[in-house]
């Protein structure tokens, strides 16, 4: 009697697992929706800003940092960093993490305590200067003429050169 109860117990556990998997995979599967950084909770946003500050500490590329902070869709990158500093102080982040956040705040032009203007920071994109081809220069080598085997930098099969 005791053995049959134990067998039926394990059979029912297996049936429950099978029904649960069938329901979650076939009947009502998870629907993935594209989420943005704006949808993160405040503490996760603070973690993201901290990670951005750590990257900035290793590679101080200000434009890339501003682009990373802009993903949070806050009023401005300065506002995102100041919000992250407030949250980090409330949650008791380590002093080294707070130092990174303060350094990032100073680098992007954020204010310490007195509310600064978010319009003070402007990045202008200047495309790199491109050299225009000089069409008056005569072509000395015909690009369609085969290269002699001894001067060929790309040897082919049967060519040891």
Q: Give the residue from 77, 73, 36 showing the smallest Cα distance to 53.
A: 77
- pLDDT for position 59: 87
> Residues of the chain with pLDDT > 90: what percent?
39
Q: In terms of DSSP H, where are the helices of 23-159?
A: 42-58, 62-70, 77-91, 95-107
SS3 for 20? helix
Q: Is the pLDDT of residue 91 over 80?
A: yes
**Helix and strand totals (H; E) in the chain:** 5, 0
Q: Indicate yes or no: pTM above 0.75.
A: no
Residues 41-65 have pLDDT tens digits of 899 999 999 999 999 999 888 889 9
């Amino acid at each position: 009697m005791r053995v049959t109860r134990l067998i039926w117990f394990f059979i029912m556990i297996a049936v429950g697992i099978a029904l649960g998997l069938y329901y979650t995979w076939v009947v009502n599967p998870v629907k993935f929706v594209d989420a943005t950084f704006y949808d993160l909770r405040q503490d996760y946003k603070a973690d993201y800003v901290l990670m951005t500050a750590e990257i900035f500490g290793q590679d101080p590329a200000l434009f890339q940092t501003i682009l990373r902070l802009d993903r949070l869709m806050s009023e401005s990158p300065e506002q995102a960093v100041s919000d992250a500093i407030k949250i980090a102080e409330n949650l008791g982040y380590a002093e080294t993490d707070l130092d990174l956040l303060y350094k990032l705040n100073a680098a992007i032009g954020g204010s310490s305590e007195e509310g600064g203007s978010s319009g003070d920071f402007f990045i202008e994109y200047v495309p790199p200067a491109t050299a225009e081809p000089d069409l008056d220069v005569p072509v000395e080598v015909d690009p369609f003429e085969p290269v002699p085997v001894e001067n060929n930098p790309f040897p082919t099969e049967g060519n040891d050169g």
